A and B are shown apart, each in its own frame.
Chain A
Amino acid sequence: MSRPAVVIRFDQDVVAYLPGAILAGSFWLRGVTTDEVKAVETSVLWYTEGKGEEDMAVHAFWRTSAEAGEWIAPNRAHRFETTLPQTPLSYSGAILKVRWCVRVRAFLQGGREIIGQRGFQLGSLPAVESVEP
Chain B
Amino acid sequence: MPRGIRIYGKKRGHRRTGSSKLGVAGEAAFFATLLVAGAGVLAALLYGIVLPEWRANHEFVEHTCVVLDKRLAERENHEDKLYRPEVKIRYGINGRSFTAWTYDIATATNAANSYSAEREEAAAVLDQFARGEEYRCWYDPTQPEVVVLVRGYRWWVWPVLALPLLFVLFGAGGVLFSLLRWNTSAERRAIISRRAAGRELLAGNGHAATEFPTVPEGSDITNSPGTMLRYRLPIGTSPGWALFGILLACLGWNGVVGVFLMWVVNGHLSGDPDWILTVFLAPFVLVGILLIAVLIRQLLLATALGPTQVELSDHPLHPGGRYEVFISQPGRLPLDELQVQLHCEERATYREGTNTRTEARGVYAERLYRGERLTVGRATPFQARCEFVVPVGAMHSFRSEHNSVTWRLVVEGRVAGWPKYRRDYPVIVYPQEQNGGHE
Complex Cα spacing A19 to B439, Å: 11
Known: A16-B438, A20-B436. A51 touches B350 (CB 8 A): yes
By beta carbon, the residue of chain B nearest A86 is B212
On chain A, the residues within 8 Å of B439 by CB distance are: 14-18, 124
On chain A, the residues within 8 Å of B437 by CB distance are: 18, 20-21
Complex Cα spacing A21 to B400, Å: 23
By beta carbon, the residue of chain A nearest B392 is A126
Contact A45 B438 (CB under 8 A): no
> In the complex, which of the residues A59, A87, A88, A113 contacts B3, with contact meaning CB atoms closer than 8 Å?
A113
> In the complex, which of the residues B2, B348, B364 contacts A95, with contact meaning CB atoms closer than 8 Å?
B348
Complex Cα spacing A130 to B346, Å: 9
Contact A114 B405 (CB under 8 A): no
Complex Cα spacing A43 to B418, Å: 56
A73 within 8 A of B: no
By beta carbon, the residue of chain A nearest B200 is A57
Contact B351 A60 (CB under 8 A): no
By beta carbon, the residue of chain B nearest A83 is B207
Known: A59-B208, A87-B214, A93-B395. A103 touches B350 (CB 8 A): no
- Nearest CB of chain B from residue A35's CB, rounded to whole Å: 15
A residues 49-68 touching B (CB-CB < 8 Å): 50-63
Complex Cα spacing A21 to B434, Å: 10
B403 within 8 A of A: yes
A119 within 8 A of B: no
- Give the dominant DSSP class at B's interface: mixed
Contact B361 A94 (CB under 8 A): yes
B residues 335-386 touching A (CB-CB < 8 Å): 341, 343, 346-351, 359, 361-365
B206 within 8 A of A: yes
On chain B, the residues within 8 Å of A5 by CB distance are: 1
Complex Cα spacing A55 to B350, Å: 11
Query: Which one, B84-92, B173-181, B182-190, B238-246, is touching chain A?
Result: B182-190
Contact A108 B396 (CB under 8 A): no
On chain B, the residues within 8 Å of A112 by CB distance are: 2-4
On chain A, the residues within 8 Å of B187 by CB distance are: 41, 43, 45, 56, 58, 61, 103, 105
Contact A48 B438 (CB under 8 A): no
On chain B, the residues within 8 Å of A3 by CB distance are: 1
- Nearest CB of chain A from residue B141's CB, rounded to whole Å: 52
B435 within 8 A of A: yes
Known: A61-B188, A128-B363, A132-B362. A55 touches B395 (CB 8 A): no
- Nearest CB of chain A from residue B162's CB, rounded to whole Å: 36
> In the complex, which of the residues A41, A57, A91, A128 contacts B213, with contact meaning CB atoms closer than 8 Å?
A57
> In the complex, which of the residues A22, A91, A131 contacts B395, with contact meaning CB atoms closer than 8 Å?
A91
On chain B, the residues within 8 Å of A52 by CB distance are: 347-350, 359, 402-403
On chain A, the residues within 8 Å of B271 by CB distance are: none
- Nearest CB of chain B from residue A63's CB, rounded to whole Å: 7
Contact B1 A61 (CB under 8 A): no
A residues 101-133 touching B (CB-CB < 8 Å): 103, 105, 108, 111-115, 123-126, 128-133
B residues 193-227 touching A (CB-CB < 8 Å): 194, 202, 206-208, 210-215
Interface membership of chain A positions 61-95, coded 1 if the CB is closer than 8 angstroms to chain B and 0 otherwise: 11100000000000000000011011111010111
Contact A88 B396 (CB under 8 A): yes
On chain A, the residues within 8 Å of B186 by CB distance are: 56
Contact A18 B348 (CB under 8 A): no
On chain B, the residues within 8 Å of A21 by CB distance are: 436-438
Contact B363 A93 (CB under 8 A): yes
Known: A20-B434, A20-B436, A89-B431. A51 touches B359 (CB 8 A): yes
Query: Which residue, B12, B13, B438, has most C-beta atoms of chain A within 10 A?
Result: B438
B191 within 8 A of A: yes
Query: Which residue, A51, A95, A103, has most C-beta atoms of chain B within 10 A?
Result: A51
B79 within 8 A of A: no
Contact B435 A18 (CB under 8 A): yes
- Nearest CB of chain A from residue B339's CB, rounded to whole Å: 10
Query: Which residue, B2, B405, B436, has most C-beta atoms of chain A within 10 A?
Result: B2
B401 within 8 A of A: yes
Q: Measuring CB to CB, which residues of chain A are less than 8 angstroms from any residue of chain B? A: 3-5, 12, 14-22, 41, 43, 45, 48, 50-63, 82-83, 85-89, 91, 93-96, 98, 103, 105, 108, 111-115, 123-126, 128-133
Report 28 cross-chain contacts, Cβ distance below 8 Å, ordered by A residue: A4-B1, A15-B439, A16-B438, A18-B434, A18-B439, A21-B437, A41-B188, A52-B348, A52-B349, A53-B349, A53-B351, A53-B401, A61-B187, A61-B202, A82-B207, A83-B436, A87-B212, A87-B213, A87-B214, A88-B214, A88-B215, A88-B400, A91-B398, A95-B361, A108-B2, A112-B4, A123-B434, A132-B362
Known: A19-B431, A85-B208, A91-B405. 4 other contacts (CB 8 A): A41-B185, A61-B188, A85-B210, A86-B431
Counting from the closest, the 7 A-B pairs by CB-CB distance are: A52-B348, A20-B436, A55-B400, A53-B402, A51-B348, A43-B187, A112-B2
